[in-house]
Amino acid sequence: MVVRTIITAPDSRLKIKSKPIIDMDDTLQTLVDDMFDTMYSAPGIGLSAIQIGVPKRVIVIHITHEKDVLGPLVLINPVVLVTSEEKAMYEEGCLSLPNQFVEIERPREITLSYLNREGDTVEQKFSDIYSTCIQHEIDHLHGKLFVDHLSVVRRNIILRKLSKARRVARATV
């Protein structure tokens, strides 16, 4: 198992649309293990494969929220089947947008179809923070970042901050 480098914005690779998983093979299992190691090392609660440069429809999640725990959970080729009309607002952050946090409104509940790590089809309902996290990660699979839900002005402010931080970091190395 390997901790991989997380791609940070603004990097055009984060805009790539991920391809479905066809083969449930050892390469996929290694990818999933590496994704968990990378997410835990960061630390984070969710990670999509594109964030480590692999444009495949794979997500790992492990959330501890109050008394509840979701995960470790592997979502392969996830598809949102139903979204609630009721919305919920949560502060979101992202390993690909370090130290940036913004409240985003999303459907409070979703019903999701996905393949688990063993290749079994699962249909499951998620709500609140779990729904938000999964929707955030699925956005990555479509080449979308949480800042893409903001106005152009707010999004550009955040992306300029990240570009500046990257330039400063390179200059000090």
Is residue 144 classed exposed, middle or buried when 0-12, 13-18 and 19+ CB atoms within 10 A define those classes?
A: middle
SS3 assignment, position 26: helix
Judged against a pLDDT cut of 80, whether residue 172 lies above it is answered with no
φ/ψ of 36, rounded to 5, equals: -60, -45
Query: Which tens digit of pLDDT belongs to each residue from 5-59?
Result: 999 988 999 999 999 999 999 999 999 999 999 999 999 999 999 999 999 999 9
Q: Confirm whether 2 is domain-assigned.
A: no
Name the domain count of the chain: 1
Give me the amino acid identity at 154.
R
159 Cβ contact list (under 8 Å, min separation 6): 9, 10, 147
Q: Confirm whether 86 is domain-assigned.
A: yes
Judged against a pLDDT cut of 70, whether residue 103 lies above it is answered with yes
Find the mean pLDDT for residues 73-81.
Answer: 97
Q: DSSP letters along 120-171, please? A: -EEEEEEEHHHHHHHHHHHHHHTT--GGGGS-HHHHHHHHHHHHHHHHHHHH
Judged against a pLDDT cut of 90, whether residue 73 lies above it is answered with yes
For residue 41, count other CB atoms closer than 10 A to its CB. Answer: 11
What is the structure's pLDDT at 160? 87
Q: Confirm whether 6 is domain-assigned.
A: no
CATH code, 116 = 3.90.45.10
Q: Confirm whether 7 is domain-assigned.
A: no
Q: Confirm whether 61 is domain-assigned.
A: yes
State how far the alpha carbon of 86 is from the alpha carbons of 37, 123, 141, in Å.
34, 20, 24
What is the domain range of residue 119?
12-171
Q: Confirm whether 5 is domain-assigned.
A: no
What is the structure's pLDDT at 173? 63
Query: Which tens digit of pLDDT belongs to each residue from 133-170?
Result: 999 999 999 999 999 988 889 888 888 888 887 788 77
Distance CA(145)–CA(22), nearest Å, equals 25
Query: Which tens digit of pLDDT belongs to each residue from 116-138?
Result: 999 999 999 999 999 999 999 99
Q: Is 109 a catalytic residue?
A: no
Distance CA(15)–CA(77), nearest Å, equals 18
Which residue is catalytic, options 85, 118, 123, 137?
137
Residue 65 vs residue 33, higher pLDDT:
33
Q: Confirm whether 159 is domain-assigned.
A: yes
Distance CA(94)–CA(112), nearest Å, equals 21
Q: Which range among 25-39, 63-77, 78-92 shows the weakest confidence by mean pLDDT?
A: 63-77
Q: Confirm whether 84 is domain-assigned.
A: yes
